[in-house]
Amino acid sequence: MPAQLCCAGTFFSDTLIHMNTSIQTLIAGALLVVPLSLTWQAQARTTAEDPVLARGKNTEIRKSHFEAEKRNAPPEARLQYSTSMERIQRTIEKLILNHALLKEARDTGYVDQPDVKAELDYFVQQKLLSMYSAELTRRIKVPDLDSAARERYRLNQAKYQQAERVRASHILITAKSRGKEEALARAEEARTKALAGQNFKLLVKEYSEDPTARRNDGDLGFFPYVQMVEPFAKAAFAMTKAGEISPVVESPFGFHVIRYEDRRPAGTTPFEDVRSAIVEELEHEYRTAKLRELLNAVIDRERPEANMAEVEKLLDKDQLKSYQDLQERIRKDIQEQPAKK
């Protein structure tokens, strides 16, 4: 391990310079996890289960710390925690800094200050409430909603109407890094090869500059007319034969070579195509209603009685009067504005 640690300076480069997050945010994040960090000794797993990722003079970062960061990251960013070495390195940098700050906050007695303890208690309580509410929601047993889903589908036919849709693939050539004439010539070249019967997916890989082409091979799936820009939609919907290749089409994005794949007429989306979405919607509504019942039952058990003498002192009458006056002025200003013809 010491041999690996001697390279930490090169692996974790200039922590404070390269961190994307502001120092204030890092400090806030560090201090908010104080109560959780204080319980680490009680929750520690063996080194084999929870290997050390990095060590500092006074810090030790384990895999479980990294996993906690990943769990609490926005859903759209979590994939980067296992696919981006830059993200992994910066997360460990952040953890080293946070743990060092935590130790300093404890050693200096900062966490023992009454106002700091009160603030931390508040945040811990809010987090616990959020977690427990989610747990209560998870415990709710949801009945079979298939019949209810079919009934909602039957009663909301208008919602599931869809316009005619076409499926097409395309090659996009942009004029960003070349002249317009050169871009058009390159699109014509790709079209000529497509008309000659060359594999369109391979032509997409060779020519297309659409950023999505890497993952979809140029296949845009089914889309209604209004989803695409006018020149593209007009060309795609004009074709009728599978495999048909359009003339080169110019749009605000560049030049397109479009291959027609299939067409779906206007009509009602089949129930099976929307069943999972309807069931998910109904399940959310059911859980929300049941959770509301549970929370109302908690309130009923508490039988709260308000001390109105103190409650009314919370109302700032001068501030309320100023707010009401402002609202009245806004209302009059709106009324006095000339009516639009």
For residue 340, the model assigns a pLDDT of: 54
Tokens describing residue 172: 């996009």
- All structural domains of the chain, each given as residue ranges with its CATH number in brackets, are 2-115 (no CATH), 164-265 (3.10.50.40)
Contact 19, 90 (CB under 8 A): yes
- Residue 290 CA to residue 313 CA, distance in Å, equals 35
Tell me which DSSP letter residue 259 carries: E
Q: What mean pLDDT is predicted for residues 282-307? A: 95
How large a percentage of the chain has pLDDT more than 70?
A: 86
- Whether the predicted pLDDT of 39 surpasses 90: no
- Confidence band, pLDDT 50/70/90 cuts, at residue 317: very high
pLDDT band, residue 291 (cuts 50/70/90): very high
Range 207-233 average pLDDT: 95
What's the mean per-residue pLDDT of the chain? 87
Query: Cα 105–106–112 angle (5° rounding)?
Result: 95
pLDDT over threshold 60, residue 265: yes
Q: What is the pLDDT of residue 46?
A: 62
User: In this model, does residue 11 exceed pLDDT 90?
Assistant: no
Contact 211, 234 (CB under 8 A): no
The whole-number pLDDT of residue 45 equals 55
* pLDDT value, residue 214: 87
Largest CA distance in the chain: 87
* 17 pLDDT above the threshold of 50: no
Question: What is the model's pTM?
Answer: 0.57
So what's the pLDDT on residue 40? 41
What pLDDT is attached to residue 43? 47
- What would the mean pLDDT of 242-269 be, rounded to a whole number? 96
Read off the pLDDT of each residue in 12-35 and give the average, rounded to a whole number.
40
